Structure 1
Amino acid sequence: MLLIAVSLLAAGGGPVLFAQTRLGAGARPFRMYKFRKFDVRCDPHGLALTVAGDNRMTRIGRVLAATKFDELPQLWNVIIGDMAIIGPRPESLAFADCF
């Protein structure tokens, strides 16, 4: 994880982590963490989904997405009890009203 963080800092500066509010069990909101895949200059209110060939993604971000290493910081969410390793994926607020 340290190697990923250093790589992200060297390639484009900070922040290294991306945090997003998600809905957990009982519709309880919490902050979910991931390694940043997109360029820091991206509009934070842009497209809510990542699509194939997304030009907002950095070169390191493409590797992180392909290997799923971008999700390693979510282990913190598991440790503090916001998420479980097994079970439904917490939904983003942008799609919560669909359920």
Structure 2
Amino acid sequence: MNQSLLLQLFLTTLALGAPTPDFHIESNTVGYGTGGGIVGLIVLVLDVLVFIEVLKSNRPPVHKICWILIVFLFPIVGMLIYFLFSNREAHNSGGSYEPLP
């Protein structure tokens, strides 16, 4: 149920981020993708939440770095891949950060 809610949120942000038919770049920052405006703020907040969840997980440090790079390089697609395919329940330690050796 949690994944379906996240998928709906993701699809809603994509729908809001679609460009408008007129391509005037004057004051409409909501209609031009994730580069700014409300949609960009939502994507930024969700990506930061993914970073925090990855860092708090009990994954090996190499896997943490890989997930963070995927989400950093591809903010929307990486976040969607993380929420759908990362097996979050198995790696949820609920603890603190794991120090690097």
Using structure 2 for the length normalisation, give the TM-score: 0.29
Q: Which has the higher contact order (CA 8 A, sep 6+)?
A: 1
- Structure showing greater radius of gyration is 2
Pick the structure with more helix per residue.
Answer: 2
Pick the structure with more strand per residue.
Answer: 1
Using structure 1 for the length normalisation, give the TM-score: 0.30
